Amino acid sequence: MAVMSNKCVAHVVRKVLPPTVSFIKNQIACHIRYTPCIVFKEYIKSNLAKELNSSFSYFYCEEKKQGFKKVFSYFLYKYFRKLTSEDIENSISFIRKNNASVLHFHYGTDARVFCEIVKKLRIPSVVSFYGYDCSSFPQRYFGYGRRYLQKMFKTVDYCIAMSDDMKEDLLGLGCPGNKIIVHYSGFESDRFYFKRNYTDNNKIILLITSALEEKKGHLFLLQALKKAISQTKTALQLRIVGSGPMENKLKAYITENRLEKYVFFTGRLEYLSEEFLKEFQNADIFVHPSITCKTQEKEGIPGAIAEAMATGIPIISTFHAGIPAIIQHESTGYLVEEWDIDTLANYICLLAEDVNERRKIGQNAQYFALHFLDIKNKEDELEQIYDFAINQYNRKNGEKTEIFTPKLIL
C-alpha cells in the first residue's frame, strides 16, 4: 500500500515478530498516509519479522550489545521488565531521527515496558490491546499485573480496544473511559478471497487454524466432534493446523476416545503459504470455539476467524470476547455458548448435512469480511485515530487546531 505523506508513526513492541501475530504486521505494513518505523526489544525469527525489517526503518535494542552490557540488559529485562537507560535514550534518538509524530504501542504490557519513552519524548501515544494483556495478565503476580498496567494508563493518551467487550475489561481495570477508542485492526482480505464452490460432498472437512492453546477451544471442539459423529451419517474429518502446548493433551484425548481416523494434525504451516491457503480451499466448515481459560485469559477478535470469513467458508464460533462483533449469529456464522458441547455438535451436523446452508452462511460471511473488515478501510480508521491523538495533544498544549473526531466503521 503506497505511502502518501511525510507523517511518521513509531510502532513499539517487545517482540518482532512471532509468526502468529500477523495482525500487528498488517498494521505496520499497510499504512496509507503515515510512514512507519519500528522499535523492539526481542527479535523472533519469522517471515513476518523478515518482511518488516527488510521494508522499514527499525531499532533493535539488543543488536549491537556485547559483554557486560548485554548480560545486564538481559537480566534487567528478564526479571524486572525494564529497559536500560541506554535502551531508552537510543530508542528516543531513533524515533526523533525519524521525526515521528505519534507512538503506537502493541500490547498494554509492552507499552508499560516502554513507558519512560513516552514521558521523555512528549509526543502523543496510543496503545493497542489484544486480549491476554487485559484479561489474564492483570490477575498475575497476586494482582500486581493490574497495578502494573494502571501506571501505564496514566502515561499514554489513548487505549485502543478491539471490541466493546474489551472496552469493558479496560474500564474494569481503571482505564478512564475518555481514553478508550474501540477499533478492530482488520486484515488483508484479498489474500484470502477466492470464489468457493459449495458441493454436496460425501465427506465434510472441518478446519481450525490457530496455536494449540487452551483459549482456542480445541478440546471443546474434539468433544463436540465426538458427539457429532454419533449423530450424523455424513462422514466427518477434522484438520487441525498449528502447534503449541496443548498438542499432547489433545492427542491423548483423541487416542482415549478412538478418534484417530477422524482427526489430522498438519503442524504449523507458514502463514499465507500455498499449503496454508489450500487448507481453507479444501475445507467445508471452519470451527473456532474460543473459551475463557482458567486464568481468565480471553481472546480479542481472533484473526483466523476474519480470514476464514473472507474465503467464504461457513463458520461456527462462540459468544466469546469480541467475536460477536464480527459474526452475526445465524447470518454470517453460528455462535454457541462456551462449552455447550451439544449445541456445537448440532451446528456441525446442520452445516455438514445441508450444502445450501453452508453456501448461505459462507457467502454472507465473505461479503461482510470483504466490505467491513478489510485492512484498507481499517488502516484508514487507524490513521484517523493518530490524527485525533495528535490534534488533541496539540490542543492540550495550547495550539489552536480544529476539533477532529475519527470516523470508525466497526
| pLDDT average, residue stretch 90-117 | 97
Among candidates 88, 31, 22, which has minimal Cα distance to 55? 31
Whole-Å CA distances, 178 to 174, 236, 302, 313: 12, 49, 26, 38
The answer to which of 5-14, 301-310, 353-362 has the lowest mean pLDDT is 5-14
The pLDDT assigned to 65 comes to: 87
Give the domains, in start order, of the chain with CATH numbers. Answer: 7-186+375-396 (3.40.50.2000), 189-372 (3.40.50.2000)
Q: Under a CB-based contact definition with an 8 Å cutoff, are residues 235 and 204 in contact?
A: yes
H helix intervals, 106-163: 108-113, 115-121, 144-153
Between CA 300 and CA 284 the distance in angstroms is: 25
pLDDT band at 406 (very low <50, low <70, confident <90, very high): low
Q: pLDDT digits over 43-69, tens only?
A: 999 999 999 989 999 999 998 888 998
| pLDDT average, residue stretch 201-226 | 98
DSSP 181-218: EE----B-GGGT---------SEEEEEEES-S-GGGTH
Whole-Å CA distances, 307 to 88, 223, 315, 324, 336: 37, 25, 11, 15, 20
**Overall size of the chain counted in residues:** 410
Q: Under a CB-based contact definition with an 8 Å cutoff, are residues 313 and 284 in contact?
A: yes
| Mean pLDDT computed over every residue of the chain | 94
Q: Quick one: cell of 59?
A: 531499532
Burial of 285: CB neighbours in 10 Å, binned 0-12, 13-18, 19+: buried
Q: pLDDT digits over 12-23, tens only?
A: 999 999 888 999
| pLDDT average, residue stretch 346-358 | 98
Q: Is 122 left (phi over 0), alpha (psi -120 to 50) or beta?
A: left
Look up residue 35 and give its DSSP letter.
E
Percent of the chain residues topping a pLDDT of 90: 86
